[in-house]
Structure 1
Amino acid sequence: MTDHPLQAHDGPDNYDVLICGAGVAGLAAARALGELGLQVLLLDKQRAPRDIAKGEVLQPGALRVLRRWGTEAMLRERGGVDLDRLVVRGPDGAALMSLDYGQLPQGDRGLLAHDHAQILGALTEGLPPGVDIRRGTLVREALRGADGRVTGLVIAHGDGDSQGGGDAGRSQGSADRAVHAPLVVAADGISSRLRRAANIAGRRVDYPRRLVSVELAGAGADSPPEDFSAYVTGRGLRLVYPLPGGRVRLYLQTEPDELRGMGADRFAAWLGRAVAEVPALTGFGPALADAAGTRQIFSVSRYLADRFTAPGLALVGEAGYAVHPMAAQGMNTAITSAASLADQLARFLPAAGGDGRPRLDAAMVDAALDAYQAERRPLLASAAKTSANAARMVTDLAWPGRIVGRRAVRCTGANPRLLHTVTHNMAGLGPRPLTPLDRLQQIGLLPDPRAHRVPVG
């Protein structure tokens, strides 16, 4: 992996793959595709990775991929925290529904929590030699051939901090440059410019409430959290999980404008009241004053693209699929999607040429993209439904949603068969869709005579 000025690469055929976006999705795609011996250029408009308070919990499906790359071992060496349960709790801490990962197949019996910046760093350090990173570079637009196929990108050499919807329509100036490649990967987030350029539609739904995150240092030293716990309260979700070094991540659901204009002192008071409303979290009280300065506020949306490919273009991560963070699915499906894209492309790669590099052409890329679309679309559609249902159970504050959601939590928690199925799906080990009959049993409208028939593995 190299990180140097783009001007060093003047030929149009130096790169096999162009990737827009160097978050987890883009880095995972670069890692997976670079491992095939391809020359990859990874572009990001940010000059340095952003340390954000999300994308910190790795599910077993993603850990399978990271284990293969050696990234899991790196994260464990750097203090990653093992978790074995995802639990929905009442305000008093009583478990209403517990997803026990210990019942999953050997090797997949746990989650791993680490700082987002550490996950980005581990992925970056593991990039193969054929991957170049160009940070602080804005992708202006996608290049299209006469047949509509995506053939490359127009990129700017100027200030990587520049942004705005008008950039794509500007005429190409002397500082801009066209770079061509047989495969372009859009890993540029939920508002993906490349997805829009390829006319790929989808459905975006904004959740009516926001999340605020704080980090508690030394919180709960007497009884640190041992799992990923979502607390159901009258004011919405309170989410807690441990981080390395005895730290704790705390998410709190808020009304859209509830925190608008709040300075540090007012927010600290609000945080204290919000935590005091949940008896199980009162032990965190002493750490709240310092935690107030770490707040990050997130708008929350879900999105599913109608398709994940166009000729010459693949969507990876939030460019094609985004979910509520409560389900801990977004980063994980980005990693597994990146691995899937590389696995499908590997099926069509010819033998390496005289220089030891495989050669891509449009036909083999588009055949691989068709296979990627066929494998990913149904899987991610199922994961999107699972995530939306899980989030609705604990975040909906309207009385019909609260009644149905809480009932679903209790009934699922009391049904070992359904609980195992939900755990398997959340772990990212492959979809086991719930049938309409399962749904009725999940909210207690029908008895389940098979409730104790837990699948093996």
Structure 2
Amino acid sequence: MQSFDVVIAGGGMVGLALACSLQGMGLRIAVLEHQEPDASALGECPELRVSAINAASERLLQHIGVWDDILARRASAYQGMEVWDRDSFGKIAFRADEYGFSHLGHIIENKVIQQALWQRASQLPDITLMAPVTLKDVAWGENEAFVTLEDGRMLTARLMVGADGAQSWLRQHADIPLTFWDYGHSALVATIRTEKPHDSVARQVFHGDGILAFLPFSDPHLSSIVWSLPPDEAQRLAGLGNDDFNKALAMAFDLRLGVCEVESHRQTFPLVGRYARSFAAQRLVLVGDAAHTVHPLAGQGVNLGFMDAAELASELKRLQRQGKDIGQYLYLRRYERRRKHGAAVMLAGMQGFRDLFEGNNPAKKLLRDIGLTLADNLPGVKPTLVRQAMGLNDLPEWLS
């Protein structure tokens, strides 16, 4: 039987970032993952699943020593944002250099981030990577958790961390209730080549039944799209021939970047909001999608998860320094309070924003157009929005 201080279920982006953040604290850390990340070289066409990594997450990734590796693999900085309401006057736009920043964030393939983090974790002496493995059982003792794997191996942990995604086995096994709601939309993702250059600007347009975002890659004519639509319409668009899809996409985007050409297959997945009733329990804590999932409206999902990892690492460091039991719920409640608040604010904000921009009700349309125009023109509003978009209003103290 192997003994660890922290066992992290899930070797995705958030679980690995947490493991790397705990290096050097004198803790023995294990990361359990179903499948070792694909180490094959990246293809010419970017992966479909990407994240908009904000400045706060960039600081965390710099701190744990993977940022340069991520940039060397493939990452695309964006310097501006534009949001508008189709067939109306509401719009807002801003650029990083107007507020003293070189960029607002980076569009990075999830595979790139996970590869870099896995490689980094494999080099750190405090971390044991275990893959492929599957959890079979966890029994909660007074002073430690007893972990049984499908292959028969047994581990003990002073603290279990659920970083095993939206369908978290660990969360379900611990009987932590989950509040969830169907957004009534599916996301359609694809890689698109555009006639006009994107100028490193992330763009998002709201129309009656959907939200369409173009996220710029380093190739000036290549973008990743995330198109939030009613499920039937998402499936219909996914099944169109390339020519018909390209025309529908360009029209939905107001021809802002001219003619569009799809360069990848199209993938759809349902959009569901989730919020665990508890982010912590005795000898257990949840991070990332195991604790919360949000609408991809502002690309904040993985950024929320990275801030969970940063906050938890900070809290465990404090407890370790004070000689306290890192698995005691009494002490983990501080992490829970802080991160539940951050996630709740984000979930409520995204839901309210989505509700406001859904449908073509004339009164609602006028309200959102006036709101966008005021935000674009009132002094002091855009600097706050820029800092929010960059994640700088939700930084743990040690990353400030």
Which range, TM-score by smaller chain?
0.7 to 0.9
Q: CA deviation at 1:52?
A: 6.0
Aligned to 2:333: 370
SS in 2 for 1:337: helix
Instruction: Show the 5 A alignment for 1:171-210.
Output: 176-210=152-186
Select the residue among 383, 393, 397 that pairs with 2:359. Answer: 397
Partner of 1:384: 347
Q: Do residues 31 (structure 1) and 26 (structure 2) align?
A: no
* 1:131-280 mapped onto 2 (5 Å cutoff): 131-145=127-141, 151-157=145-151, 176-216=152-192, 219-220=193-194, 222-246=196-220, 247-260=222-235, 266=241, 269-280=244-255
Change (3 A) 1:269 1:314: same
Distance in 1 between residues matched to 2:101 and 2:326, nearest whole Å: 38
Contact map agreement 1:186 1:314 (CA 8 A) in 2: yes
Q: Structure 1 residues 328, 393: CA separation in 2 closer, same or farther (over 3 Å shift)?
A: farther
With over 3 angstroms needed to count, the CA separation of the structure-2 counterparts of 1:100 and 1:249, relative to structure 1, is: same
Aligned CA RMSD, in angstroms, stands at 3.2
- Whose Rg is larger? 1
Query: Relative to 1, partners in 2 of residues 1:429 and 1:389: Cα closer, same or farther, differing over 3 Å?
Result: farther
How far did 1:402 drift? 4.7
Give me the whole-angstrom Cα distance separating, in 2, the residues matched to 1:277 and 1:107. 31
What one-letter code is carried by the residue in structure 2 that aligns with 1:220? Answer: T
Q: Secondary structure at the match of 1:279?
A: coil
Structure 1 gap ranges (5+): 1-10, 158-175, 352-359, 433-456
Instruction: Give 1:355's aligned residue.
Output: none
Q: Is 2:123 the partner of 1:117?
A: no
Kindly indicate which of the two structures has a greater share of residues assigned to strand.
2
SS in 2 for 1:64: helix
In the alignment, which residue of structure 2 is the partner of 1:440? none
Specify the code of the residue in structure 2 equivalent to 1:420: P
Deviation, 1:269, is: 2.1
Query: Could you say which residue in structure 2 is the equivalent of 1:70?
Result: 65
Matches within 5 A, 1:286-297: 287-288=261-262, 291=263, 293-297=264-268
TM-score, normalisation: structure 1: 0.75
**2:313 & 2:366 partners in 1: Cα distance?**
44
Q: Are residues 123 and 222 of structure 1, via their aligned partners in 2, closer, same or farther at CA, if it must alter by over 3 Å?
A: same
Task: State the partner residue of 2:381.
Answer: 418
Corresponding position: 1:302 with 2:278: no
For structure 2, the residue ranges without an aligned partner over 5 or more in a row are 40-45
Q: CA deviation at 1:302?
A: 1.8
Report the 3-state secondary structure (helix = DSSP H, G, I; strand = E; otherwise coil) of the residue aligned with 2:167. coil
* Percent identity between the two aligned chains: 20
Letter in structure 1 aligned against 2:5: D
In structure 2, the residue matched to 1:172 is: none
Q: Which residue of 1 aligns with 2:7?
A: 18
Q: In the alignment, residue 285 of structure 2 is paired with which amino acid?
A: A
1:377 and 1:338 map into 2 onto residues whose CA distance is: 13
- Rounded to whole Å, the distance in 2 between the matches of 1:227 and 1:64 is 21
Instruction: State the AA in 2 paired with 1:196.
Output: Q
Superposed CA deviations along residues 266-321 of structure 1, whole A, max 9, x for unmatched, are 36523432323433346243x23xx2x42111211222222211111111101112
Q: Distance in 2 between matches of 1:392 and 1:226?
A: 28
The normalised TM-score by structure 2 is 0.84
Amino acid paired to 2:12: G
Quote how far apart the aligned CAs of 1:362 are: 4.1
In structure 2, the CA distance between the partners of 1:401 and 1:55, relative to structure 1 (3 Å rule), is farther
CA contact (8 A) 1:349 1:364 kept: no
In the alignment, what sits opposite 2:315?
A: 344
Cα deviation, residue 338, structure 1: 0.7
Q: How many residues align?
A: 386
Check the 8 A contact 2:194/2:257 in 1, yes or no: no
Q: CA deviation at 1:265?
A: 5.3
Whichever residue aligns with residue 226 of structure 1, its letter is: S
d(CA) in 2 for partners of 1:191 and 1:407?
Answer: 39
Instruction: Please list the CA deviations of residues 8-50 of structure 1 after superposition, one character each: whole Å capped at 9, or x if unmatched.
Output: xxx332x221111121111111111234242222112235459
Aligned with residue 289 of structure 2, among 302, 311, 318: 318
AA matched with 1:228: A
**Partner residue in 2 for 1:53:** 48
| Native 8 Å contact 2:158 2:326 kept in 1 | no
Q: Deviations over 1:128-185 (max 9, x none)?
A: 232222223222333222x5x871433213xxxxxxxxxxxxxxxxxx3332110111
Aligned to 1:454: none
Q: Does the CA-based 8 Å contact 1:71-1:122 persist in structure 2?
A: yes
Residue 294 of structure 1 aligns to a residue in which SS?
Answer: coil
Aligned partner (choices 429, 436, 445) of residue 392 of structure 2: 429
Paired residues of 1:57 and 1:111 also in contact (CA < 8 A) = yes
Task: Tell me, yes or no, if the aligned pair for 1:309 and 1:370 is still in contact at 8 Å.
Answer: yes
Shift of 1:201: 2.4
- Alpha carbons of structure 1 residues 279 and 382: separation in structure 2 relative to 1, 3 Å: closer
The amino acid across from 1:397 in the alignment is G
